[in-house]
Structure 1
């Protein structure tokens, strides 16, 4: 087995773009450009360069590092959905599933993934965005808050942090100051 191929198993090193570049006989800049579908002006390439890069990606089992990619582009392409209680109830005909399906479809059309945030309910029975004192929604670029009238303190903190969110629910909840900021996605 080739020493550079380590796609599976515990304790094996993650394949990097440098590994792909070495295997394909090109620079890491070319690999990055090909994988990300970008032409940076000074780095030009044709099919004779692209094909060996993609062949090396397949042969080595390269998988992009999502965290690094998100950091480089300044966002995760994730829209969060958060509710203070269960949105989907087995056997219930409350429209939660249809509502979530609508959000999912629109997120997909805009090129985003959908992430449903849940968490442990404290003694009061309602989840908080700030479980453990930290904004748990930060993984997403912005979030849809459903039934936000039940966690008004969270809305005020999100607004103060300029975290993009869309509120679906009562807007006159105690602790909520004005409308939420417009989502930036």
Structure 2
């Protein structure tokens, strides 16, 4: 800093003010200092800045499953939003959702220089371990089951599932079958509960629930079973990947989509519009979830917030070509043939 001051012909205090973006420096002086910095290859020491200010300008992100399209898109939005605010992101992926892995991630986070933490993980994994963070480190969780224990940002899972089921009922289907996600997933459970409640409120009897594991392969296996259910004319799949496998199985068994069976997915992955037929699905705005996670945690930092709130991003039903009114009933077709 002293060298920069000498070359620029200013005081070390002026170099510090320019380096930290403080006011009170003329434009001409600022240009002189920046030119001297470039000439000497000077860069401010971020570690020293952090020690002086008591902040690191870094957000920690703990997430499970980097192979998940939703997590990747949320993480991308977090990184972009953080950069716009002048923050870096330190990522700590949890390879396997066990207590030891989650505890290890938080332990490593405690050793790193972060100002706040965003958790992209179902809350039961977080509650299963003893989490210890440095004083003043704020936390935002992307999981609506976190309730009033944390500040929450998530998609309105229940509202999205209700929209999917109502769409199929409004088309005239007597009931809607459900291809659910794995039992250990709270997101899957919320969507399944909303499916069941929506049918019950409409006076319909929920069919037996069919379960998958989020993968297209599990959707294919479930589809082979559902293809044999002749009264199955509508299926709500808990994610688009399972819907993809379901479509293949139904096609192989001669069940036409949507003539014989209508299918709705959940997520609206980029490939959903290229399925055969293009998939009707519930769009989740992962980018907005990520942006609001950053906005929420920065607000808590700046206001030293201790109160917890919940922000649910509304989903949107995207209607394509995989849904239609149900086929005519056998008795109706028979009546047409036997009529006068």
**Normalising to structure 2: TM-score of the pair?**
0.38
Distance apart, 1:126 and its partner CA: 2.1
In structure 2, the residue matched to 1:66 is: 46
Distance apart, 1:37 and its partner CA: 2.1
In structure 2, the residue matched to 1:146 is: 120
**1:18 equivalent in alignment to 2:2:** yes
**1:29 equivalent in alignment to 2:13:** yes
In structure 1, the residue matched to 2:107 is: 131
- Which blocks of at least 5 consecutive residues in structure 1 are unaligned? 1-16, 173-177
In structure 1, the residue matched to 2:149 is: 179
> How many residue pairs align between the two structures?
152
**Contact conserved, 2:99 with 2:129, CA < 8 A, in 1?**
no
**Contact conserved, 2:4 with 2:15, CA < 8 A, in 1?**
yes
Superposition RMSD in Å: 3.2
Of 50, 66, 82, the residue aligned with 1:88 is 66
**Contact conserved, 1:129 with 1:154, CA < 8 A, in 2?**
no
More helix by share: 2
Q: Deviations over 1:58-103 (max 9, x none)?
A: 11000110111222332122111112x4x312xx5x4221111222
Distance change >3 Å, CA 59–CA 28, structure 1 → 2: same
**1:168 equivalent in alignment to 2:152:** no
In structure 2, the residue matched to 1:12 is: none
Distance apart, 1:179 and its partner CA: 1.0
Distance 1:167 1:46 in 2: 44
Distance 2:15 2:135 in 1: 37
More strand by share: 2
Distance 1:57 1:36 in 2: 13
**1:100 equivalent in alignment to 2:75:** yes
Q: Deviations over 1:27-83 (max 9, x none)?
A: 1001111222213xxxx5424422321121011000110111222332122111112
Q: Deviations over 1:9-35 (max 9, x none)?
A: xxxxxxxx1121122221100111122
**Normalising to structure 1: TM-score of the pair?**
0.65
Q: Deviations over 1:127-164 (max 9, x none)?
A: 424437x724x511101112242132556534x94421
